[in-house]
Amino acid sequence: MPRFSSIRWKLGLSVGLVILLTVTVTLVVQRVVIEPRWADFVQDFSLSNQGPEAAAVIARYFAQARTFAELRQVLEQISDLYKAKVFLTDQNGEVQVQSRNPEGLNPIESQIDAALGGSTVYGQVQLDGEWVAAVTTPIYTTDGQLAGTVQIIQEPPPPNRPNRPSFPLTSSLLWGALAAFLVSLGIVYFLSRSITSPILAIRKVALRFSGGDLKARVTKAGSDELGELGRTFNQMAESLERTESMRRQLMANISHELRTPLATIQGYAEGMLDEVVPAEQRQEALQLILSESQRLEKIVRSVLELSRLETGQISMERISFDLEGELRAIERLFNLHYQEKGVNLTVLPPAAPIVLQSDPDRLRELLGILLENAWQYTPAGGEVRLVTKEMGREVQLSVTDDGPGIAREDLPFIFDRFYRADKSHTRETGGAGLGLAIAKELANALGAQLHVDSNEGAGSCFTLILLLEKN
């Protein structure tokens, strides 16, 4: 059964109603305004031409005729042509000859007298209860002398035919409206199909997608707005599929991260309870339990912090502070950590003092994540540089490492939560892939921008751009 609430029906009914309303208004205007004026125009136009034309014809024959009777045949032809009674008078107004049909009509004496004065006269006369039009025109000889008059009186209409002429376009308008309606139905059908087909295709793909088929995509996408909608849907689907993939990867990563320390804690705890662990190794076992507990706490804290940053639950305390002092504090904090691995940490402060209006704790946390990330991927003997540059109203903080770099296909997703460019998840190469996502959220909260530039095999450079507020 057809769905009357569909776009196709709505579009078809809308166009049909517009056409119907247009035709109705046109017919009303025609009936009320155009037809009366048309009838008067036809009647006046006919009379204004019949009299002078008949006078011109009779004038040509009048010069050749010896008597008025010789002009009877001409009058009969004019009478048949105009469907009217024709009278021919002399210069004294006396009727000399008249057409045979229609019978029973008499000349209008007042018009004849007026026409003898040299002007064409129009008027109406009542015949058999009907008003008919009449025209009387003077006739002149070739030398300009008045020869008489010719009077034309319209034949009364039959009882079954209206006296006023009908508008000739009424039937054409009706047939044209019907043709336009039928053509519009065809156009609306094909137009609605071109509109609804992509929508139905997107709906079908959306149902498949909601049913769990994350590979479902809109295959036919044109260049119009519906095509743009299809491409936008595909982008959304790809984003959701990627998020779902990262979610599953997160579950696997966190499961792995949690399972390893939990197994260690459980194993040593059971060993100590069962007195399997020798007394001289209990101190080492307790140290391992503490270390694994700290790893668990770090993972949970990272997940909670990212969630709070994404929902805007972490407030920023903006104060004025010296940037160089903050960078030196960060250098002292990470120096020993880098030395233990054999990685050189170089911090280059700004050439001139810079006072920032920001949250120093969040800035230190952000730079700490970048330095920790660089430490993880820089081999022993390598170098990590933290360089500060003031450029106009901006301050750029760049963290550059000598690590393996990031593949080009991984760069667009490097700040996505749970994403890891290194798919070989080991304890030596990082955690669950939350650090850079947290750094990106911190940068947004600080009103800063965080970018990455990297080539595979040539290291990476993370750049933080902060705006300087002028007093």
| 105-137: pLDDT as tens digits | 788 888 888 888 888 887 777 766 667 778 888
Is residue 395 exposed (0-12), middle (13-18) or buried (19+ Cβ within 10 Å)? buried
Q: At a CB cut-off of 8 Å and minimum separation 6, what does 282 contact? A: 272
The pTM of the whole model exceeds 0.85 = no
Domain ranges of the chain: 7-170, 173-251, 254-310, 319-467
Query: What residue type is assigned to position 454 of the chain?
Result: S
pLDDT for the residue numbered 425: 46
Residue 257 pLDDT exceeds 80: no
Higher pLDDT, 412 or 417: 412
**Collapsed DSSP state (helix, strand, coil) of residue 261:** helix
Q: How big is the CA angle at 213 (ends 212 and 214), to the nearest 5 degrees?
A: 95
CATH architecture group of domain 319-467: 2-Layer Sandwich (3.30)
* Each residue's pLDDT tens digit, 218-237: 777 667 777 787 788 888 88
Phi-psi region of 315 (alpha: psi -120 to 50; beta: other; left: phi over 0): beta
Q: Are 230 and 402 in contact (CB under 8 A)?
A: no
CATH architecture group of domain 7-170: 2-Layer Sandwich (3.30)
Is residue 73 exposed (0-12), middle (13-18) or buried (19+ Cβ within 10 Å)? exposed
Nearest to 255 by CA among 296, 292, 310, 304: 296
Higher pLDDT, 324 or 58: 324
d(CA 55, CA 52): 5
pLDDT for the residue numbered 385: 92
Query: What residue type is assigned to position 144 of the chain?
Result: G
CATH of 254-310, one of 1.10.940, 1.10.8, 3.30.70, 1.10.287: 1.10.287
* Each residue's pLDDT tens digit, 7-61: 666 676 777 777 777 777 777 776 676 666 655 555 555 555 666 777 777 777 7
